[in-house]
Amino acid sequence: MNITLKIWRQEGAQDKGKLVTYKLSDISEDMSFLEMLDVLNEQLAVKGERAVEFDHDCREGICGQCSLVINGKAHGPEEHFTTCQTHMRSFDDGDILTIEPFRANSFPVIRDLKVDRTSMDRIIQAGGYISSFTGMAPEANSIPIHHDMAESAFDSAACIGCGACIATCKNSSGALFLSAKVAHLAKLPQGKVERAERVVFMVNAHDDEGFGSCTNTGACAVICPQEVQLLDIARMNYEFNRSLCTVEK
């Protein structure tokens, strides 16, 4: 298949960027989207031109590094896929594909399609941990957890921190990501020690990093590759209000 790529090229955070057009031919429909970009970079290297920079790691849909906006949609056209899970068979011969980095004030562009998402790491550092005794691992059944609650916590913990929810939200809110990190610990006995402080610290860190507010449009849940539920945002709001009441008392 033959495709035309319009890729965002930007030298650095302080430089102006622009879309640059590239044409590729004889692309296999069985290639992943990132493999197609590898082919482009090989051709650029042969010509002595600078390769297109983009984030990737596992290429298995579990690390959350492949942060691309393809034709205006985070991660591309497939529902609940990451970019690396998207294959060229999702497109048609002759298609024009516009590829841009995730757009958010809290995601400054480093170069080309690569953005700085350490703001999300700082939210985790603010409270995404538990207190635990060191030493031998405890017996698996020593802390009883109802199966439904364990499954619910696991669903929240499935968030891979890719940032697609933030890039999609009209307010660049990190509420879905933040709520998943708050909820999965709040649901488990191991997370009870820091329960009151955790949500306050993490919400404050979210706001300090310049993420927008949540207005419940639901676009974040639609784009999430791990299908994290909006219910987690409701849980986070409950935990936050509960913590404020606890502090006041």
Do residues 135 and 182 share a domain?
Answer: yes
Count of domains forming the chain: 2
Which of 73, 96, 111 is the C-terminal boundary of a domain? 111
Do residues 15 and 68 share a domain?
Answer: yes
Do residues 88 and 122 share a domain?
Answer: no
Distance CA 99, CA 221 (A): 22
Do residues 77 and 129 share a domain?
Answer: no
pLDDT of residue 249: 47
Do residues 59 and 80 share a domain?
Answer: yes
State the CATH number of the domain containing residue 206.
1.10.1060.10
pLDDT of residue 247: 56
pLDDT of residue 114: 97
Do residues 133 and 104 share a domain?
Answer: no
Q: Is 3 helix (H, G, I), strand (E, B) or coil?
A: strand
Which of 66, 86, 111 is the C-terminal boundary of a domain? 111
Name the H helices within the chain.
33-46, 118-127, 147-157, 164-168, 175-186, 195-208, 219-223, 231-248
Q: Where do we find the tokens 């970079």? A: 41
Domain that holds residue 162: 118-248
Determine the straight-line distance between the first and last CA of the chain, rounded to whole angstroms. Answer: 66
pLDDT of residue 224: 97
**Which is it for the CA torsion 110, 114, 115, 120, positive or negative?**
negative
pLDDT of residue 137: 76
pLDDT of residue 214: 96
Do residues 104 and 139 share a domain?
Answer: no
- Residue segments in the chain with a per-residue pLDDT below the cut of 70: 246-249
Which of 47, 77, 111 is the C-terminal boundary of a domain? 111
Do residues 124 and 237 share a domain?
Answer: yes
Do residues 99 and 130 share a domain?
Answer: no
Do residues 100 and 155 share a domain?
Answer: no
Contact 164, 221 (CB under 8 A): no
State the CATH number of the domain containing residue 36.
3.10.20.30
